[in-house]
Amino acid sequence: MKKFVIVILTIVALMPMRSMNADWAKIGQVKRYSDHEGTYSGNFSNTYPKGTPYYSIKNIDPKEIIAIKTHEAEFVKAINKGQYANGQLESKTIWISILGSLIIVLLIIWIMKRKKSKV
């Protein structure tokens, strides 16, 4: 009987106190906070402070829904409603700027060649 009790106590002592299988996994955090529209792209927030952790939810694609830890034991579900519209606007603005600069450079070269040919 004494050996049986020792074996049971040993088994109980070796068992983990918490579940080792979590329903979530940390996938990132807020890198920058900004309350100005269009200031940043990527991993920023205009609601949560820098360092606020993001978590995936078990059996749910993190590209669709994530959990945001707001307080010690409080989470908010965040649903992805598509790409931030300003991100597309920024890429269009960059391409328009590059194209505009190229046109100006070509125009300057063309004007300089015309002036040389007149002389």
Average confidence (pLDDT) per 10 residues, the chain, 119 residues: 75 62 72 68 71 87 86 83 65 85 94 84
* In contact, 43 and 73? CB cutoff 8 Å: no
What's the confidence (pLDDT) of residue 102? Answer: 94
Identify whether residues 66 and 26 lie together within a single domain: yes
Identify whether residues 95 and 48 lie together within a single domain: no
Question: Is 5 a domain residue?
Answer: no
Interatomic CA distance for residues 19 and 14, integer angstroms: 13
Structurally, the chain folds into a number of domains equal to 2
CA 59 to chain CA centroid, Å, is 20
Instruction: Please list the alpha-helical segments (H only) found in the chain.
Output: 2-14, 85-118
Domain hosting residue 72, numbered range = 21-82
pTM: 0.47
In this structure, the number of other CB atoms found within 10 A of the CB of residue 115 comes to 9
Identify whether residues 64 and 32 lie together within a single domain: yes
